[in-house]
Amino acid sequence: MSKKNTGDDIWKNNVEKIVKLFTLTYGSVVSQLCRDFQNNYYEVNQQLDKMGYNIGLRLIEEFLAKTGIKRCQSFKETADIITKLGFKIFLNIQPTIENWSNDGKSCSLIIPEPNPLTEFVELPITSDSKIGKELWYSQILCGVLRGALQMVQLDCDVNFIKDVLRGDDRTEMRLKLNKILKDEVPAGED
Amino acid sequence: MKVYSILILNKAGGLIYQNEISSGLNKLSANDYLVLAGTLHGVHAIGSKLSQSISTTNNLKNTEELNSIQNSNILSFGKALNPNNNKSGLQSIETDFFNLYNFQTVSGLKFIIITSPNDNFENFETSNEIFRKLYILYSDYVMKDPFYSLDMPIKSILFDKNVKELFR
Amino acid sequence: MSNSYYFTIIGTKDNPLYELEFSSFKNIPTTLPSNYIPGKSQFSQSTKELLPFIANSSLDIIEDLQFSTNLLNLGKIDQFYGLNINGYITQGSIKFIICYDSTKDESNSIKQFFQEINELYSKVLLNPFYNVNDAIISPDFDLKVKQLARKYL
């Protein structure tokens, strides 16, 4: 049995055919948001984050249903599962984890290229130089992770610190565990 | 094993879905179903507290380790496991007239089925398989319905249809 | 003859989207001018000024032709003071025009060039921040057009 079977299979059956449509749809959403908010990119980032958050709240159920993942023991394990299984199932990419903080509560996820969200995207250059400094094009991913982790009682901060679109050397996301919402952990697990 | 009825509870113990798959049980009023759901939720939670004091700390550690091992198995062998996460709470009620099985997800959702009585041990496995399928249906047809708000009663016709299909 | 080319993309409202002047990398003239740089166009100053007008004046011809043929590549459509003019019209009625001062008819290689440009252009359209009839200012596009020019012309 090959290593990536679960992720690969679920991916192939569901998403491959519509990935292009998805990329384009996401692109129109972002550019429309930029227009709607008159190029206030902080606001655009926030909107994308919110959208992602609402997706994450829902998406986690599919993830749990289709993989049968149990509660993780450490945040390291969580990060491992997010990258190796979560990203694999939903985006067919596998980010690498780097830069663990000493307390083991925050780490960086390096999104491999090509980033499926940005396949056709180039940020406009001359018309508006602000965009390259303020817009986090793939911000929705942060929201998704935040929402999904919250549903399994992990309160996290997620944000981008580098993006290839901005001319950085790689796309890097920072994942930080604030606290485990112990009160909300459902009874009967241990 | 014949499935009479399905209940889905949100993480606060509120009934968000109830469906009579096949006849055999007396119908309860909507209010009674809510009470039933709340009671089961409570019994489940209290039950888990009871079992916590029964099991030694050693055992507790084992659950966590087991979780880890299972997770790494999923990663390395690529085979999905059953998403049931109900370890120490109320798992089943068996009577002469019906059996009741309880399933809980990591996010705190509960799926409960009431089936025909059967003292066959395999029932537990069968019920787990039913729960897995139900959970997938839920994740597809309820969670992906953009007009569904979380933790609210499920009124999706599509979900209804697919649940019926599952038990045909 | 210096084998220089003037390539331009014209939008649906006859607005210029992109232009590029270059000279052939394949047919390098035997007598090199003193300031020769490979790929730099050798149009005379007076021709240079005229090129946009020449390209735009061929738009009428393209518009006539587009209803009489269902081919995208329109081939050689006009001639002006020893300049050949080739045209191509995309499904979205974006026009590609090349003016070149070669004695040979290079329609075949230009056709290939146009086809690849069309593919490249459709990729530009996929960028969510690009709208039809915006000027194409992406340096990436520019680079790729130059690579194609080098490959085919």
Instruction: Give B91 or A148, the one with higher predicted confidence.
Output: A148
Answer whether B61 touches A (CB < 8 Å): no
Q: Quick one: average pLDDT of B17-26?
A: 88
Quote the distance between the C-alpha of residue C35 and its chain's center.
24
Total structural domains within chain B: 1
C38: preceding bond cis by omega (within 30 degrees): no
Phi, psi of C62 (to 5 degrees): -60, -40
Of A11, A61, A83, which to mutate for an interface test with B (greatest number of B Cβ within 10 Å)? Answer: A61
Q: Quick one: average pLDDT of B114-119?
A: 82
Of B55, B69, B85, which to mutate for an interface test with A (greatest number of A Cβ within 10 Å)? Answer: B85
B63 found inside a domain:
no
Subunits with 3+ Cβ pairs within 8 Å of A are B, C
Per-residue pLDDT tens digits for A67-104: 988 888 899 999 999 999 999 988 889 999 999 999 98
Q: Quick one: average pLDDT of B144-160?
A: 92
Q: Which domains does chain A have, with CATH numbers?
A: 8-180 (3.30.1380.20)
Per-residue pLDDT tens digits for C38-66: 778 888 888 888 888 888 889 989 988 88
Q: Quick one: average pLDDT of C89-103?
A: 88
Answer whether C126 touches A (CB < 8 Å): yes
pLDDT above 90: residue B119? no
Tokens of B145: 């319905």
Answer whether A34 touches C (CB < 8 Å): yes
- The minimum CA-CA distance between A150 and chain B, rounded to whole Å, is 9
The percent of residues above 90 in pLDDT, for chain C, comes to 30
Bridge partners (DSSP) listed for residue B3 = B115
pLDDT at position A1 is: 45
Tokens of A169: 């050397």
pLDDT at position C117 is: 93
Instruction: Give C39 or C9, the one with higher predicted confidence.
Output: C9
pLDDT at position B26 is: 86
pLDDT above 90: residue B63? no
DSSP type of residue A2: -
For residue B150, list chain A residues with Cβ-Cβ distance below 8 A: 57-58
pLDDT at position A123 is: 86
Quote the distance between the C-alpha of residue A45 and its chain's center.
13
pLDDT at position A163 is: 93
Of A26, A122, A124, the CB nearest to C140: A122
B60 found inside a domain:
no
Q: Residue B102: give its domain's CATH number.
A: 3.30.450.70
CB contact under 8 A, A190 and B106: no
Is residue A78 helix, strand or coil? helix
- Cβ–Cβ < 8 Å for A168, A111: no
Residue B157: exposure state from Cβ atoms within 10 A (0-12, 13-18, ≥19): exposed
What is the residue extent of each domain of chain C?
Answer: 4-152
- The minimum CA-CA distance between A178 and chain C, rounded to whole Å, is 35
pLDDT at position A3 is: 55
Strand ranges, E, within chain A? 96-98, 106-111, 154-162, 171-180
For residue A186, list chain B residues with Cβ-Cβ distance below 8 A: 11, 85, 104, 106-108
C31/C105 Cα distance (integer angstroms): 22
Q: Quick one: average pLDDT of C110-131?
A: 91
pLDDT at position B60 is: 56
Angle among Cα A92, A98, A102 to the nearest 5 degrees reads 140
Of A66, A67, A186, the CB nearest to B108: A186
Range with top average pLDDT, B158-167, C41-50, C74-83, C101-110: B158-167
For residue B52, list chain A residues with Cβ-Cβ distance below 8 A: 190
Spans of chain A below 50 pLDDT = 1
Instruction: Give B55 or C10, the one with higher predicted confidence.
Output: C10
User: Domain C4-152: which topology?
Assistant: Beta-Lactamase (3.30.450)
- ipTM above 0.90 for this complex: no
CB contact under 8 A, B71 and A77: yes
CB contact under 8 A, B11 and A186: yes
B70 found inside a domain:
no
Residue span of the structural domain in which B127 resides: 3-25+36-48+86-166
C24/C38 Cα distance (integer angstroms): 8
DSSP string, A123-145: ---SS-TTHHHH--TTHHHHHHH
Of C126, C129, C138, the CB nearest to A24: C126
CB contact under 8 A, B11 and A5: no
The percent of residues above 70 in pLDDT, for chain C, comes to 93
CB contact under 8 A, C128 and A27: yes
Of A31, A125, A126, the CB nearest to C128: A31
- The minimum CA-CA distance between A128 and chain C, rounded to whole Å, is 11
B44 found inside a domain:
yes
Of B48, B79, B144, the CB nearest to A58: B144
- The minimum CA-CA distance between A58 and chain B, rounded to whole Å, is 5
Determine how many CB atoms are found less than 10 A away from the CB of residue C15.
11
Residue C74: exposure state from Cβ atoms within 10 A (0-12, 13-18, ≥19): buried
